Amino acid sequence: NAGVTQTPKFQVLKTGQSMTLQCAQDMNHEYMSWYRQDPGMGLRLIHYSVGAGITDQGEVPNGYNVSRSTTEDFPLRLLSAAPSQTSVYFCASSERPTGDYGYTFGSGTRLTVV
């Protein structure tokens, strides 16, 4: 049982490059979300999805796109990377949107934009 799998674990991008952070879960969870974690700050919600074909913006969506074509996958796309997007990114899933019994998090992607 893999849980939530994120790839890659580390990535360095040049300003202006684009890339996709992958997230997959094998728990048949309807709710998936992307967070970024910056030093000294709480996790901030970027985008979330309550089911296949449904996505919505979170607190800090600018510069990111998502899609949810299947229940299992929820990729996060950086359109044109900026140094302000240097962060650790976590994908999370749960049975219910309210996170009853908590979210299951992936192990994170550490992104550096130079």
Task: Compute CA distances 114 → 26, 45, 83, 88, whole Å.
Answer: 34, 23, 6, 15
Comparison of 19 and 105: residue with beta carbon closer to other proteins? 105
Residue 75, C-beta contacts closer than 8 angstroms, at least 6 positions apart:
20, 21, 22, 23, 66, 67
Comparison of 1 and 100: residue with beta carbon closer to other proteins? 100
CB 108 to other proteins: min, Å: 5
CB 60 to other proteins: min, Å: 12
Comparison of 38 and 80: residue with beta carbon closer to other proteins? 38
H-helix or E-strand containing 15? none
CB 12 to other proteins: min, Å: 17
